[in-house]
Structure 1
Amino acid sequence: MRTEKQITYIVGLNTVRAAAALSVVFAHLLGPSMPGISRYIFTGHPAVIAFFVISGICIHFPFRAAELSPMTFLKRRYTRIMIPTAVALILAQWIGIRAYNPIDGYILWSVICEIIYYSLYPLFLPISRKVGWPAMIAASVIISYVTVIGLGSDEYGNAQIYGPSLNWVVSLPAWLMGCYIAQIYRSGLYVGNIWIWRAATAITASALYWATTNTPIGFYLTMIPFGVLACGWILSEASNAERGNASAVMEKIGEACFSIYLIHVIAAAAIERLGITSPVIVCTGSLLLVIPFFFLVEKPAHELSRRLGRRMVAGTPH
């Protein structure tokens, strides 16, 4: 029997990570070339919201009832996320993707949000122990909707319109939902048939993508309710994994989800420079080029962050 920590951290979440990462890739590289309504099958923004929920779960689960050392925590998280991001940023500029930067927000807008959430977590944690995660989520929902209704959005409900100073506010409810899920999660929790959750999540994401591009109801209005649905899906995947039903392939892909997210558009641009224009070939090649980035950049950064944590716990911070 797997432990609760393994179920929550690895097995179920990696399947969700893989599905979300592949959805982003297919939305960017295949979606624009697909005919008619089929172009709405894959969508990136709801996938990012699922990532935010997962991030909240991963960050808070170890500290549900434990004390937090802010310096250790921040050093580990910054190392884990900033090294791969910095390398990807350099590669993007070398290839010529000028919008791939923290200000314009192409791809990196969600990474900036994550960095801000990590930075605020040492403050969020003691507040949650006084007022509870539900109260914090409710407050963040109000602030998020005041922001988006006040500022509006473009016709695509585009997150980048709010800029790095406000994107994190708009998406904060989803991240806090993840923290709450981590707080209440218990081994053996069953939330219903997994295929119903998967279908409901996929169909809803596609429907919201269609609504974003064809009606005034954009992602900026619908992503908070979608985050609630994503919580149910994630819990169902954890339950399914606990019973030993997780896909080994999706689990492996999920380990490289951050590399997939960071590098796919850079790899696609490099492949297209060779004169290759077939969306299927470009997409396939982009996913293959994720492999060296994961093993040469992301995995070493992850291992370094773990070593830093162990050294600081041992009383020899560097």
Structure 2
Amino acid sequence: MHIKGLDGLRFFCALVVIISHLGIDFTNYSCNNSILYFITGILNNSFSGIGAVLVFFVISGFCIHIPYANGKEIHIKEFYMKRFIRISIPAAVAAAIFYFVAHEYLNVLWSLICELLYYFVYPLLLILKRKYSNISIIIVLYVISFVIIIPFDIWDQTKYGIFPRYGEALDWIACFPSWFIGVMLADYVVSNKETLTSITFLNIWMIRIASWSFTIAASILRFQLNISYSLTLPFFCIVVYYWLLNEIKFYTNNKENTFIVKGGMMSYSLYIFHFTIIYLVSDYLSNDHKYSLQTGSLTLIMILIASYIFYLLVEKPSHELARKVKFKGIV
């Protein structure tokens, strides 16, 4: 099911993750001008990779649940197999290529492990949703998440509260509220699809800027006041709920940009393959793994080209294979 408005957000978030990993220091271009220093300082805090990953989680929860939000029965075996093929084959290929060239494990795999665990518990979540309200479930998930987060923030401040520090057993639980917020949004959209009305171009851009400003503020708090991402970004996911809802509203009567749609379609490839390109060119284009605006832009272009090829050769065939998986009956 294609929902207009999602691809643009996916593409944006993939670019944010990539730029955050390029480590461009925009303040190098302030030219000792106080106004430029302020602007470049804002730019330095504008690319929160963790914030973008949480948006991906919200979108994922939305996309997984929306086919079942109207009460449609789930074929569990078919669901598991489709999701496993769709996610795991491209991830395994990307991880193998990265290990071959870098002799290291691909560090974005933590979020993919979270995704697979969300898929695994989703049928159980559907059962819980029949007994308890979404509000009750999200409150419990937030409480459990902070039970994990707060002790780490007290005892371990070495990683500035980024999410992939709790280990595979806990990362997915700490981030689970973001994924379930996507499930809640799917319920709302399906229940109110007849009353969703479009918003203006000015309004959607005001919402986009205001929403992403939350991550800028979280980044400033992280680096200036040592208030960790794990204490601020979980609440960003609530903002993402309204941001994504308004993207859907905006595109009820507006066309999507073809280039952005294609970018969104290959956003998963961008996410899992960009590290390989960064590693391959780092010795030639970076200074101690830090990129200038010029070399970072060149690297980004190479990432877009290479990821599109990866999408055509690996991700797209995996999606097509997943669509062919069919099982009879409800398991």
Give the match for residue 161 of structure 1: 165
The answer on 1:179 being equivalent to 2:172 is: no
Give the match for residue 91 of structure 1: 97
The answer on 1:189 being equivalent to 2:182 is: no
Q: Which runs of 5+ in 2 are unaligned?
A: 28-39, 287-294
Q: Secondary structure of 1:166's match?
A: helix
Provide the C-alpha distance between the structure 1 equivalents of 2:50 and 2:87, rounded to a whole number of angstroms.
Answer: 20
Give the match for residue 5 of structure 2: 12
Give the match for residue 103 of structure 1: none
Is the 8 Å Cα contact of residues 76 and 306 (structure 1) preserved in structure 2?
yes
Provide the C-alpha distance between the structure 2 equivalents of 1:203 and 1:223, rounded to a whole number of angstroms.
Answer: 12
Provide the C-alpha distance between the structure 1 equivalents of 2:21 and 2:67, rounded to a whole number of angstroms.
Answer: 34
Gap change, CA 1:121 and 1:146, over 3 Å in 2: same
Structure 1 window deviating more from structure 2 (63-72 vs 211-220): it is 211-220
**AA at the equivalent of 1:189:** L
Give the match for residue 278 of structure 2: 268
Provide the C-alpha distance between the structure 1 equivalents of 2:7 and 2:84, rounded to a whole number of angstroms.
Answer: 21
Give the match for residue 110 of structure 2: 109
CA-CA distance at 1:245 after TM superposition? 3.8
Provide the C-alpha distance between the structure 1 equivalents of 2:82 and 2:219, rounded to a whole number of angstroms.
Answer: 35
Provide the C-alpha distance between the structure 2 equivalents of 1:69 and 1:154, rounded to a whole number of angstroms.
Answer: 44
Is the 8 Å Cα contact of residues 46 and 205 (structure 1) preserved in structure 2?
yes
Is the 8 Å Cα contact of residues 269 and 310 (structure 2) preserved in structure 1?
yes
CA deviations over 1:283-307 (Å, ceiling 9, x no partner)? 2211211011000000001110000
Q: Secondary structure of 1:244's match?
A: coil
CA deviations over 1:241-292 (Å, ceiling 9, x no partner)? 111243322221111111010011111212335x233222122211211011
The higher radius of gyration belongs to 2
Provide the C-alpha distance between the structure 2 equivalents of 1:172 and 1:96, rounded to a whole number of angstroms.
Answer: 31
Give the match for residue 284 of structure 1: 301
Match of 2:20 among 11, 22, 27: 27
Structure 1 window deviating more from structure 2 (90-99 vs 43-52): it is 90-99
Structure 1 window deviating more from structure 2 (114-123 vs 90-99): it is 90-99
Provide the C-alpha distance between the structure 2 equivalents of 1:213 and 1:164, rounded to a whole number of angstroms.
Answer: 26
Is the 8 Å Cα contact of residues 109 and 160 (structure 1) preserved in structure 2?
yes
Is the 8 Å Cα contact of residues 95 and 105 (structure 2) preserved in structure 1?
no
Provide the C-alpha distance between the structure 1 equivalents of 2:198 and 2:115, rounded to a whole number of angstroms.
Answer: 28
- Normalising by structure 1, we get a TM-score of 0.89
Gap change, CA 1:59 and 1:199, over 3 Å in 2: same
Provide the C-alpha distance between the structure 2 equivalents of 1:123 and 1:198, rounded to a whole number of angstroms.
Answer: 33
CA-CA distance at 1:155 after TM superposition? 4.5
Give the match for residue 327 of structure 2: 312
Percent of aligned pairs with the same amino acid: 31
Give the match for residue 68 of structure 1: 74
CA-CA distance at 1:150 after TM superposition? 1.6
The answer on 1:203 being equivalent to 2:213 is: yes
Is the 8 Å Cα contact of residues 97 and 266 (structure 1) preserved in structure 2?
no
CA-CA distance at 1:40 after TM superposition? 1.2
Provide the C-alpha distance between the structure 2 equivalents of 1:85 and 1:155, rounded to a whole number of angstroms.
Answer: 25
Task: After TM superposition, list the pairs within 5 Å mapping 1:72-151 onto structure 2.
Answer: 72-96=78-102, 98-100=104-106, 106-151=107-152
Q: Which runs of 5+ in 1 are unaligned?
A: 101-105
Give the match for residue 300 of structure 1: 317
**AA at the equivalent of 1:166:** L
**AA at the equivalent of 2:20:** A
- Normalising by structure 2, we get a TM-score of 0.86
Is the 8 Å Cα contact of residues 15 and 237 (structure 1) preserved in structure 2?
no
